[in-house]
Structure 1
C-alpha cells in the first residue's frame, strides 16, 4: 500500500513537472522580437505605444522591441532571421517580391507616409523638387522608403537619374547635422525632427506627405506606409502568435484614434520629446490622422505604392507583382 502511495505521488509529481515544462515551452514560443526602423519616430508610434499600454502582455506575448536607424536595415535583420517582424514601410513588401522574397504587411498602421522633404534655408531659391537638380538629398538609408519616395518625386519633377545624389543621413541629430553642415541641401524626414528644424528656422517644407490629402496630391493616391510586416512563411507557421500581435496593435490604433496628442504623449518615453514636449504633442495632433483606425490596408493603397516603385526601381519595373501576396487583412479583421 505504501509502495502504491509512493508510486502515485511520484507519477503525480512527474505530471506536474511535465505540465509546467509544457507551459514554459508555450510561453517561450510566444517570445517575438520586432525590429523598428527608428522607434522614436512618430510614424512608428504604435510599436512603443503598444508596449507602454501593456497590450502585448494582455495577449500573453513576450515581445522585445529593437531599434534600427533605417527601415532598410530592419528589413535586412528580418531576412537574416534575426527578428520575426519589422515595423517599417509597406513598400518593402512590394520591393522584396520583385527580388523573389515573400513578405507581407499584417497590420497596416498608416495610410500616408508621415514624411516631409525639408530644404535648407541656405537655399531660398529652391521652390520645387525640380529646383533640387545638382543637389545632394538626405535619406534615412539607401534602399529605404525615404529613398524610394525621393527618387520617385525627382522623376515626377522631370529630373533624370544622376540629376540628384541621395546619401544616408538617418534621422534626428544626424539628419539635423547633415543639413547644418551642408552635407545635404535637403532631405526627407519625420516628426519630431521636422518640428525641431522648423522651430530653429534652419529648414522649410518643400513637399508634405503627413496627411492623406497631401499625399494623394503628391503621389497620386493613398500611400500605405508604416506597417507590421513579416515573412509569409513565418506568418503561415505561427498564426496564433500573429493573431495576438494583430489584436494588440489594433487596440493601439483604436487608442490613437480616440485620444488626444497630449494623452498619447503621456504614454511615450520622455526622451522621445527631445526636450520639447509641447512641440511633440502639437506634431502628434496634426499628424495622427495618418494612422488607420483598424489596421486594414486601404483598398487603393498597394496600387499607388507599385506605381511609385515602378517609376524608378530597376527591381520592380517590368516585373509581375502579385499585390494580394504583399499584405493580408485576415488577422486585423479577426482582431478582438
Structure 2
C-alpha cells in the first residue's frame, strides 16, 4: 500500500510539474522565419532504445541534411521526462509515445503526432526466471512489476493487462525499474518479478537467462492478442502551436523520417544495425542485431497513423489514467495527430 501511495504521489508531482512548466512555454521558435537551414531540437525518450531507433538512424543516414533541416537530438530516460522538457519550451519536439498527446489534450494542452514510427508498443512483459507461477497477466497478484516510471506508457499498459485478466491494480506493487542496466539489475537482484520494457533490454534479459518474454507487444499479432487492437506508440510529436507556426520545417522533418521508415522496411536487421553508432550495441553486436530483428515488425513503412490505433490508446488511457478518464468523452482524437505532412512527404 505504501508503494501504491508513493506511485500516486509521484504522479501528482509530475502533473504539477507539467502545469508549472507550461508557464514557461513560448510555443517554440519560428524556425520557418529563419534564414538558411532551420534548426530543430528534438528530445528522445531514450535515444538508444530500439523503439526510437528511427530518430538516430535518420541522422546516421544523412536524411535530415538531405531534407534541409539541422536537427539536434537530445535524450531523456523516459517519454514523460521528454514531454516535460518540450512543454517547458526547451526543445521543439519529442520522439516518444503517441499516447502523451491524448493525456495532454485532457490537460487542455494541444500536441500532435506528425510522424508515426510504430503501430504497436514495441514492448514486452518480461518475467524473471526466478519468479514462480507467473504464466500470464492473471498471475500478477502479489507480484512486483517493473515499469519505466509511474504514469508512463509502460505503467498504463501494465494496469490494462492486469485488469483485463482479472487482477486489480492494487493487488500488485509497481516498481520504477527504468530501462537498460537498471531494469536488468532489478531482475537480477529480485527487485521485480516481471516488468515491461523494450529492446535491447528484452534481448539482454533473455540472453543472460534472467527473464523470458511473457507478453509480446512487438508485433501486430501479439498486440492484438494483448490489447484487442493496435496501439500506435513511437512517434514525433510537437505542440500544435509549433506545427502551425512552422509548417515548412515540420514538412522537412516528415520528408526525412518517412524516407527512413521506407529504408527500414527494405533493409535487414544487420544492415540497420551497421548504420547505428557502435556503442548502441553495448559490446554485443550480434545481440543488438537480434533485438532490432525482433522489434522491427513494430515500425510503420510510411509514417502514417494506423486505422483504429488512436481508439485503442484512448480506451487504455480512459480506463487507467485519472487525467484522461475525467475527459474521455470529450477527447477529440483528430486533434492528437495529423497525416498532412507524411501524405505530402517527398
State the TM-score, normalized to the length of structure 1. 0.90
Q: Distance in 1 between matches of 2:195 and 2:278?
A: 26
Task: Check if 1:243 corresponds to 2:243.
Answer: no
Matched, 1:122 2:142: no
Tell me what 1:137 maps to.
145
Residue of structure 2 aligned with 1:331, choices 338, 341, 345: 341
Match of 2:4 in 1: none
Task: Give the equivalent residue in structure 2 for 1:27.
Answer: 36
Q: Is the 8 A contact 1:106 1:327 kept in 2?
A: yes
> 2:191 maps to which residue?
183
Judge which range, 178-187 or 78-87, deviates more: 178-187
Map Cα deviations across residues 52-96 of structure 1 (whole Å, 9 max, x no partner).
Answer: 001111122111100110110001111111110000000111111
Counterpart of 1:321 (choices 331, 339, 344) is: 331
Q: Is the 8 A contact 2:203 2:290 kept in 1?
A: no
Residue-by-residue CA offset, 1:173-205 (whole Å, 9 max, x unaligned): 011111111122211111111111101111111
Higher Rg of the two aligned structures:
1
In 2, distance between residues paired with 1:197 and 1:286? Answer: 14
How far off is 1:166 after superposition? Answer: 1.6
Give the distance between the partners of 2:36 and 2:155, measured in 1 at CA.
39
Q: After the TM superposition, which parts of structure 1 deviate over 2 Å for at least 4 consecutive aligned residues?
A: none
Match of 2:177 among 145, 169, 183: 169
Structure 1, unpaired ranges of 5+: 1-22
1:155 alignment partner in structure 2: 163
2:85 and 2:36 mapped to 1: Cα distance? 23
2: CA distance between counterparts of 1:141 and 1:65?
22
Normalised to the residue count of structure 2, the TM-score between the two structures is: 0.88
Quick check: 1:72–1:142 contact (8 Å CA) kept in 2? no
User: Separation in 2 of the partners of 1:77 and 1:143?
Assistant: 16
In 2, the alpha carbon distance for the partners of 1:279 and 1:184 equals 23
Maintained 8 Å contact 1:71/1:141: no
